[in-house]
Amino acid sequence: MKPEQVVTTHAALSNIDTETLELIQQAQEADAADHQLTIRQALSRYKKAVFWSMILSFSLVMEGYDLVIINSFYGQTQFKERFGEVQPNGTKIITASWQSILSNVAVLGQLTGLVINIWTQDRFGARHTMMFFMAWMAAAIFIPVFAPTLPVLAAGELICGISWGIFQTLSTSYASEIVPTVLRPYVTAFVCMCWGLGITISSAVVRGVVGMEGDWGWRLPFCLQWIWPLPLFIAAYLAPESPWNAVRRGKQELARNSLTRLRDPSKTTEREIDATLAYINHVTNLERAETAGSSVLECFRGVNLRRTEINCVVWAAQILCGNAILGYSVTFLQMAGFSEVQSFNLNISLSCCYIIGGILSWFLMARLGRATLYMGGLAFMFICLVAIGGLGFVGSKQANLAIGILLVISTLCNMTTVGPVCYPIVAETPSGRLRYKTITIGRFVYNLTGIFNNSVTPRMIQASAWGWGAKCALFYAGTNLLCLIWCWFRLPETKDRPFGAIDLLFENRVPARKFKYTKADQFAHTSEDLDHIHSDEKKVEIEQHERV
């Protein structure tokens, strides 16, 4: 066991009145109560919060759905017959350049949505932002459904991508802010599971329309996206606002109302609501002192630069770990020797790993923590990628079968470790006042990495381009190794840490390898000052009694 180091707040607390310190004492009570909650108790008291976080997380289903839909179409006969270019051998294919364009325009739309969300979520809150862009999404779906050409389809992907960019960060930040610390890894990991659920649904849909003739083979999967906007619009209308967001916008009554709605009324007292609200205000005030103005530039200054770096790399590693190949699994498998039907069947198995892995991560994260699980997943995927790349040089049927098995194993590992663990890390490491902005910047880097992936991966795989086939796994084994080395030196462990304690550890510049063993006392100075004031009040009472 490593020796424990103690860090305390640097906040200046002199000349603070008694009333303020009493509020801070309430904040201490809320923090202590949060630490004492077991998973069972938290689920009992906060089942409404868990419900609302899970409901709004379903917005990510649409992004995951489109990811597989558009990429799977590159290997679908109906889509290739409608939009493909004739090759010298008489067959039609979607060229690598058009694959890059169609995949990248959606990412460009997501980048636009991320920039918009920096302003809208801070200005209007999570609910109203979600409602507006659900309506936007319902209208935008018409474009890809009735697209007559690839340029029109690309325009539709761009416009739909704006909504997906909004949902990417909104769902994560909302889920992390409305539940207690002990439930935070579960609800944020569920966000990733919803993304995986979209992938699973789309894989099954694409497999189901393989035998359908004509344009409805590719139009019908696009039409099914209309299932989601209306019910999620209604859910956002009925959902409570994030109390942290309400406090940052100066809406104390809205925050109080949200805290009341997020808890079981039979197991919650008015004092507990007051204490939690006092804690949110206390942490927000400390963060406001550290990040005055909370502009985007503040994310790149002082200790916040380190927090932004962690967000950016952890997001980018989602692709660089080797997950880039999984996004093109149908094309990848066909280039490795699988038939069209076989590749679609195996793709369903790969997609199911997103759900199974997410459930497994719930049990592992509680025991191993974020950083350990994240790095362990990277290391195992590195081994799988090296093996897949090596088998790419063999080219036999047995090698192709082994590649398919390793791809399933690698996907399951990814969605048990790197995939879901990313979400609690990116939700916990930013400061509260900069949370939306920091997560958005990280996701922006993720999408830029996605543009790189969508530009080079099709060329690596396609026989008409670079023709690497399965050997491209060696390239991503290299990027995976770089991410693993960075994590060892820079990724802190935030397991079981409330937001205030994480702020304090970053403020004191605690190294990543010492995060796990450092005790953060965010109320050290306030407790001393509070005791001092209570002592002075007691002395005054004694003096008054003696005079009488």
Residue with tokens 């100066």: 250
Residue 153, domain member (yes or no): yes
SS3 assignment, position 321: coil
pLDDT in tens, 323-332: 777 666 666 6
pLDDT in tens, 419-452: 888 888 888 888 877 887 888 888 889 888 888 8
Pick from 264, 260, 481: which is nearest to 382 by CA?
A: 481
Tokens of 475: 């390239």
Tokens of 495: 């397991």
pLDDT in tens, 129-153: 999 999 999 999 999 999 888 999 9
pLDDT in tens, 398-418: 777 787 778 778 888 888 898
Lowest mean pLDDT among 33-42, 343-352, 381-390: 343-352
Residue 548, domain member (yes or no): no
**CATH classification of the domain holding 330:** 1.20.1250.20
- For 98-117, the three-class secondary structure string (H helix, E strand, C coil) is HHHHHHHHHHHHHHHHHHHH
Number of structural domains the chain divides into: 1
Residue 499, domain member (yes or no): yes
Residue 494, domain member (yes or no): yes
Look at residue 234 in the predicted model and tell me its pLDDT: 94
Contact 362, 189 (CB under 8 A): yes
Residue 546, domain member (yes or no): no
Residue with tokens 């910047």: 441
- Judged against a pLDDT cut of 80, whether residue 336 lies above it is answered with no
- Judged against a pLDDT cut of 50, whether residue 172 lies above it is answered with yes
- Judged against a pLDDT cut of 70, whether residue 334 lies above it is answered with no
Query: ∠ CA(313), CA(455), CA(484), 5° rounding?
Result: 25
- Judged against a pLDDT cut of 90, whether residue 382 lies above it is answered with yes
Mean of the per-residue pLDDT values for the chain? 80
Look at residue 541 in the predicted model and tell me its pLDDT: 45
- Cα–Cα distance between 208 and 185 in angstroms, integer? 34
pLDDT in tens, 286-320: 766 655 555 778 888 888 899 999 999 999 998 89
Look at residue 11 in the predicted model and tell me its pLDDT: 47
Contact 328, 461 (CB under 8 A): yes
Residue 547, domain member (yes or no): no
Higher pLDDT, 199 or 339: 199
pLDDT tier for residue 532 given thresholds of 50, 70 and 90:
very low
Residue 142, domain member (yes or no): yes
**What phi-psi label fits residue 26: left (phi over 0), alpha (psi between -120 and 50 degrees) or beta?**
alpha
pLDDT in tens, 188-218: 778 878 887 887 888 788 778 877 877 888 8
pLDDT over 70 percentage in the chain: 82
- Judged against a pLDDT cut of 70, whether residue 246 lies above it is answered with yes
Look at residue 309 in the predicted model and tell me its pLDDT: 95
The domain containing residue 456 runs over which residues? 5-541
